[in-house]
Amino acid sequence: MNYWLVKSEPFKYSWERFVQDGQTFWDGVRNYQARNNLRAMHSGDLVLFYHSNEGLAVVGVARVVKESYQDPTTEDERWVAVDIEPVETLHTPVTLDAMKREPALANIALIRQGRLSVLPLTKEEFALIRKKGRTS
DNA sequence: GCCAACGTTGGC
DNA sequence: GCCAACGTTGGC
């Protein structure tokens, strides 16, 4: 079981819409590092859903329901998509600012490599963010 | 809306 | 194969 974080601009595709849809395919990634992370996802992996640009916070938890396949939005075989479904909406969004202030999260790619849109988390990092979202 | 970071492209 | 130019992302 692996843990991930994906970014979406709420204007393009928000958590609220994702919950309404019940499932979505995660496509449009055009960055090799992000693509490699998508490819490494397995069914059942848990994914934090982060709102970039607006919100700047982790707002929910999702689960991978279908492993990587050819991105349906392009003919280009380099790119892949995965299917995910919502698991839970966080009681309180965990803001980027809060994560920056958390020493245990100093090394996550969200902070160190701001532009990466699909990134891995350790089990501990994932658990900490989820816990903050449930309680704080 | 600006700008920093960083990935990609293309000329040499 | 280097590196400058350019494009994109995302925080502020």
Domain borders along chain A are 3-134
Per residue in A81-113, pLDDT (tens digit) is 999 999 999 999 999 999 999 999 988 999 989
What angle (nearest 5°) sits at the alpha carbon of residue A46, between those of residues A130 and A56? 50
Q: From CA A82, how far away is CA A14, in angstroms rounded?
A: 17
**Strand B contact with A11 (CB < 7 A):** no
**Strand C contact with A30 (CB < 7 A):** yes
**Strand C contact with A101 (CB < 7 A):** no
**Strand B contact with A113 (CB < 7 A):** yes
**pTM for the structure as a whole:** 0.94
- Protein residue with the closest CA to the C1' atom of nucleotide C9: A115
CATH superfamily of A3-134: ph1033 like domains (3.10.590.10)
Q: Is the pLDDT of residue A73 over 90?
A: no
Q: From CA A126, how far away is CA A136, in angstroms rounded?
A: 15
CB atoms within 10 A of CB A36: 14
Per residue in A10-25, pLDDT (tens digit) is 989 999 999 999 999 9
**For residue A50, how far is the Cα from the chain centroid?**
6
Q: From CA A29, how far away is CA A69, in angstroms rounded?
A: 12
- Protein residue with the closest CA to the C1' atom of nucleotide C8: A115
Q: Which two tokens stand for residue A118?
A: 């699909």
Nearest Cα to A89, choosing from A54, A56, A45, A130?
A: A130
